[in-house]
Amino acid sequence: MFLNKLKIKNFRNHNSFEIDLKEQRLIVLGSNGIGKSNLLESVEFLSQLKSNRALSDKDLIQNNSDMAVVLGQIDFRDELKLNLFRKGPKKIYVNESILKKQSEIKNYIRSVCFCSNDIDIVKSEPSYRRIWIDKVVSQLEPVYQDLINRFNRLLKQRSHFWRSESFLKTQSSDIVESFDIQMSIISTRIFRRRRRALLKIKPYVEYWHNHLSKSKEQIGINYLSGIQNISPEEEEEEVISKKIAEQLLNQRSTEALTGKCNFGPHRDDIEFLINNISVRKYGSSGQQRTFILALKMAELDLLNKTLNVPPILILDDVLAELDITRQNLLLNSVGKDSQCFISATHLDKFNQSFLGSSQIIYL
């Protein structure tokens, strides 16, 4: 997978920018605040149709503009174009034909993005880890995002129902029963896919952690679900769905009072361990940085091996967070199979061999 052309217009602080990309390794060079991260963000948005840095697509549109455009050509063949509007939904085109399902963009381009804020995946609240694993699963199974969207709609409808006049007047259990059935089915599918993805990615995390830390520490990755009496090996969909339905039933009276569903995929967490010790609670800043780097490189390897197509790797403001040893280990590993974008303020972090095989994009 090779992005050979990039063109953006009215995207963040870039009025207009166009470049032909010729190398596997691309260094985006410039001073702080000039728009390096914004340029890398356009590549992320082109490949994932969302940005980690924007609450809304409209935040990506330059001030005083009604529309932004991101265009890229993949493998000198397929042209992808995103039109973002301040009023109305974005439109996605592939070879000038509109794309009906957004998930189909992954048939043409995929990426793994690693920025300095990703340390929150390891050290902050569970929502960061849920977002991360959902991105991984969506890359492996594009239809997975539809499951997440359906679950979120159900959760919102269920919460609204507890406060609705129809419930307050009738106390009807039929509607709640319908919610329980739907939520137990969708929750089971989300649970199984998340846990399956973690099992697949763990060997790659172990490899990268050992490579980056030069140690043989034992890595642990556990999916922490609120499902009661579920064994780590349990995979039968009917069994899991039944247990979820029972638990939803048991908490129904409490939920009716609070209006909140305190159990389900939206409350689950992931535990990262080194030698059976929580990286989030007790890991040093160095251990946390090494773990998140191993996690991201493992994500890249998993997608490459599973899909037989290397995704684009985006490294935004990452080198400054690493010591010299880990910088060199990382740089020696990227840009071989996967095309790699790296932002930097200076070239002194790169050796001559790396620079000789890189295209430098000056901003």
Residues annotated within the binding site for ATP are 30-37
Element housing 48 (H / E): helix 36-48
Two structure tokens written together for 104: 């189909």
* DSSP conformational letter for 283: -
Our CA dihedral for 141, 146, 150, 151, rounded to 10 degrees, sits at 30
Strands across the sheet with 219-224, in order? 219-224, 269-274, 277-278
Please give the full DSSP string across 99-166, using - where no structure is assigned. -SSGGGGGGT--EEEEEGGGGHHHHS-HHHHHHHHHHHHHHH-TTHHHHHHHHHHHHHHHHHHHHSHH
Please give the full DSSP string across 213-240, using - where no structure is assigned. HTS-PPEEEEEE---TT--TT---HHHH
Number of Cβ atoms within 10 Å of the Cβ of 359: 14
Q: Which residues contact 283 (CB under 8 A, 6 or more apart)?
A: 122, 123, 274, 277, 291
Strands across the sheet with 3-11, in order? 14-20, 3-11, 67-74, 78-85, 91-94, 97-98
Q: Which residues contact 224 (CB under 8 A, 6 or more apart)?
A: 268, 269, 270, 271
Two structure tokens written together for 139: 């890359």
- The annotation places the binding site at 30-37
Tokens 């980690």 — which residue? 52
